[in-house]
Amino acid sequence: MHEITKKIIEGDIRAASRLIRDIDDGVTGVRSILKDLYTRTGNGYVVGVTGSPGAGKSTIVDQLIGHLREDGKSLGVLSIDPTSPFTGGAILGDRIRMQRHATDKSVFIRSMATRGAFGGLSRSTKGAINVMDAMGKNYILVETVGVGQDEVDIVGCADTTIVAMPPGMGDDIQAIKSGIMEIADIFVVNKADLDGADQAVSHLTALLELNADKFDNNHWKPPILLVEATRGKGIAELLEYIEQHRQHGLSVDHKIAHSKVHDKISNEIVETIHASLVDKCQAFIDNDSTIEKSVDAILNGDSDPYTESDKLIDQFLHSK
């Protein structure tokens, strides 16, 4: 077992921070540590919080931290922002918003820019979640900004996904377009103190009714909750829904639960193969001057990048 693996299992914050930064930077060697850690994972409950910029995700996370800490739970908090120039630390705004927890040893907050160096966004996120899980955190809260495909992918890492939106025109319409309807386990209309919050709730309710056929029998029907995160209103209810969803996950038809876990693991294998193959192929190219010949051939007008990459892949596959 790696020295760093032992430290992380003991909850060492410096070792964990370092590993998360290395995952974010795509440092080689990270995979063998994650491999070591894997058997220690699977105990932490992962809650994803996503939604449009400024919806109040960090404020909601901050409130959830407060409630869960009162309950004696240990926490890992991961803030994923692919657009951030900061990496491996806390994003400035989040640091301020979650400052009251900064000195609490049972709350471990990190942020990642995840430019995909470790084989894609969801791969890096999953890696960092596993680090926090192996540290023994009871809950891992993952905040992701935006409502694009990347976020939908990241959300695949969560056991329960909260989609937060502020009142106002367009948000709910945009939500359907980007497929966020499908991934939400709980909808939060935040900023209940602002005009239009009730309309947003009824709009969402109507949309869910349109999709009612998806939520038959054993399927979880996402509740819609009105929250005022700045004053902590609705947070206790939000935690109740998270718990209900967790229980639902445990109680649903065994087949559904089994196939979900099956899908998750098979995705993880495929993603790891992708990342691993790219690394190995890259190492092969770096160690070999063949690429220079390919470049020359293209410069001379004798070939093209497609032909040359096919050739290199072929050589790589036959090099073992």
Q: Do 130 and 38 touch, CB atoms closer than 8 A?
A: yes
Instruction: Kindly state the smallest distance separating residue 104's Cβ from ligand GTP, in Å.
Output: 19
Residues that bind ligand GTP (CB under 6 A): 53-59, 93, 97, 145, 190-191, 193-194, 228-230
- Provide the minimum distance between the beta carbon of 147 and ligand GTP in the complex, in angstroms, as a whole number: 10
In the list Mg ion, ligand GTP, none, the entry touching 55 (Cβ below 5 to 8 angstroms by class) is ligand GTP
Give me the long-range contacts of 13-17 (CB less than 8 A, separation at least 24): 13/108, 16/108, 16/110, 16/131, 16/132, 16/135, 17/88, 17/110
Sole residue written with tokens 């960092």: 128
Please state the closest distance from residue 163 (CB atom) to ligand GTP, in A: 11
Cβ proximity to ligand GTP, 81 vs 308, nearer residue:
81
Sheet holding 45-51, edge to edge: 107-112, 75-80, 139-145, 45-51, 160-165, 186-190, 224-227
Smallest distance from ligand GTP to CB 241, Å: 17
User: Are the beta carbons of 185 and 157 closer than 8 angstroms?
Assistant: no
Burial of 259 (0-12, 13-18, 19+ CB in 10 A): exposed
Q: How far is the CB of 184 from ligand GTP (least distance, A)?
A: 15
The residue sitting closest to Mg ion, measured at its beta carbon, is 58
* 142: three-class secondary structure by DSSP: strand
User: What span, in angstroms and rounded, lies between the C-alpha atoms of 103 and 88?
Assistant: 18
Q: Pick one of ligand GTP, Mg ion, none as the site partner of residue 208 (Cβ within 5 to 8 A by kind).
A: none
Pick the closer one to ligand GTP by CB: 30 or 55. 55
| Residue 56 touches which member of ligand GTP, Mg ion, none, C-beta under 5-8 Å by kind | ligand GTP
Closer residue to ligand GTP in complex, CB, 17/230: 230
57 or 126: whose CB is closer to ligand GTP? Answer: 57
Q: Which of 276, 249, 279, 245 is closest to 264 using CA atoms?
A: 249
Q: With respect to ligand GTP, which residue has the nearer C-beta, 193 or 314?
A: 193
